[in-house]
């Protein structure tokens, strides 16, 4: 699993975290600190770009739910972008797709968080 973090090009007060590969227990252990760091450094919240994620396990879902809880506790928001159909289906089947805002691209999500 690779993780990259950067500010949004259109809304610098929103962080963008790009994930790729398999979001399983091993990846969560490696990626969670970068996700939390980006959330803490952002002003409004973060966009998690899932476009490169081919698989998400329950550990990956828990990581995103925990990050969302942390964000809400500090008055910020998390949005998910570019989730592949198989990844989005996990959120739908688990009954938690309404916990997140899903967007077709990361910059559209950043604009929505920046308003």
**Average pLDDT value for the chain:** 92
Residue 1's pLDDT band, with cuts at 50, 70 and 90, is low
Q: Which residues contact 81 (CB under 8 A, 6 or more apart)?
A: 47, 48, 49, 50, 51, 102, 103, 104, 105, 106, 108, 109
Please say if the pLDDT value at position 2 is more than 70.
no
For residue 69, the model assigns a pLDDT of: 95
For residue 65, the model assigns a pLDDT of: 95
Please say if the pLDDT value at position 71 is more than 60.
yes
8 Å CB contact between 5 and 15: yes
Q: Summarize the confidence of residues 93-111 as an average pLDDT.
A: 94
All structural domains of the chain with their residue ranges: 2-114
Adjacency order of strands within the sheet including 14-23: 2-7, 14-23, 45-56, 77-81, 101-103
Q: Which fold has domain 2-114?
A: Transcription Regulator spoIIAA (3.30.750)
């Amino acid at each position: 699993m690779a993780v990259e973090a950067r500010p949004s090009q259109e809304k610098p007060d929103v962080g963008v975290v790009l994930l790729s590969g398999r979001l399983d227990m091993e990846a969560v252990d490696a990626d969670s600190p970068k996700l939390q760091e980006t959330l803490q450094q952002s002003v409004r919240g973060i966009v998690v770009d899932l476009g490169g994620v081919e698989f998400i396990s329950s550990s990956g879902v828990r990581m995103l739910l925990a990050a969302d809880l942390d964000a809400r506790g500090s008055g910020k928001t998390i949005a998910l972008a570019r989730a592949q159909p198989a990844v989005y289906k996990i959120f739908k089947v688990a009954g938690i797709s309404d916990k997140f805002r899903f967007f077709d691209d990361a910059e559209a999500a950043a604009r929505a968080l920046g308003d």
